[in-house]
Amino acid sequence: MNKATLDARLDLLSKLQDAFDSTPQAFINLTQNLNSHDVAMIGTVIQVYCYADFNARRIIDVLKHTAMGAPRSASRLQDAQVFPMLEHIVREHLWDGDLKDGLLKAAATVEMHRVHRHNFAHWSARRVKGANALVMFTMNAREAERRDGVAPEPTEAKYGILSLDGFDEEVRKLQEHTNYLARQAAHLEQHVEELKAEFTRRRGA
């Protein structure tokens, strides 16, 4: 994204924020219901993340079991712990190579988008009229404070503006990394004994 495009996007978001903050009625006047593509995109992000989480847990268990003889316990991880744990296990125990690089890249990409998945799953959304952007909003004080550390007033709704320019491409990349995790999870589970032997060999080398 070049500087002119970024500046234009930031200017648009700033104007929208000023308009929304001017009067509650502006929020209704400047937004509309989600279209079918928005709904499909939101559902895709949520499901892709769930699939990535599922396969990341499988990979964590295989690597912990084969590298350290640890019991399979990734099912007990909280959502926010999964991809940091995958990255930690891969960095600490997997030797350099395409698998290590691929898993680290996939883990970082999915973790980077986790905030979008969480917002889509727990915040309401409306489309901004005349702009490729969504407004995400909530009356859940805990959710609101989680985003910026500021507790809202009891009657206050907190909102954020999400520009969708380039977002379809980000979703495509997310899907690619998620499919990669699924392939590697299946491969690792099919070669547990070989992997265990390789870890043993490398420790003894």
Q: In what order do the strands lie in the sheet with 133-138?
A: 31-32, 124-128, 133-138, 158-163
Q: Quick: pLDDT tens for 167-204.
A: 999 999 999 999 999 999 999 999 999 999 999 998 87
Contact 121, 49 (CB under 8 A): no
Q: Quick: pLDDT tens for 44-64.
A: 999 999 999 999 999 999 999
Q: What is the pLDDT of residue 155?
A: 79
Q: What is the pLDDT of residue 60?
A: 97
Domains in the chain: boundaries: 34-121+171-197
- Among residues 118, 84, 109, the alpha carbon closest in space to that of 175 is found at 109
The helix (run of H) or strand (run of E) holding residue 192 is helix 192-204
Burial-class residue 57 by CB neighbours within 10 Å (0-12, 13-18, 19+): buried
**Which residues on adjacent β-strands are paired with residue 128?**
31
Q: What is the pLDDT of residue 144?
A: 77
More confident residue, 14 or 136: 136
C-alpha distances in Å from residue 172, one per residue of 113, 167, 197, 203: 12, 9, 36, 39
More confident residue, 39 or 141: 39
For the chain, the average pLDDT equals: 89
Could you tell me the pTM of the whole model? Answer: 0.86
Q: What is the pLDDT of residue 7?
A: 64
Contact 120, 96 (CB under 8 A): no
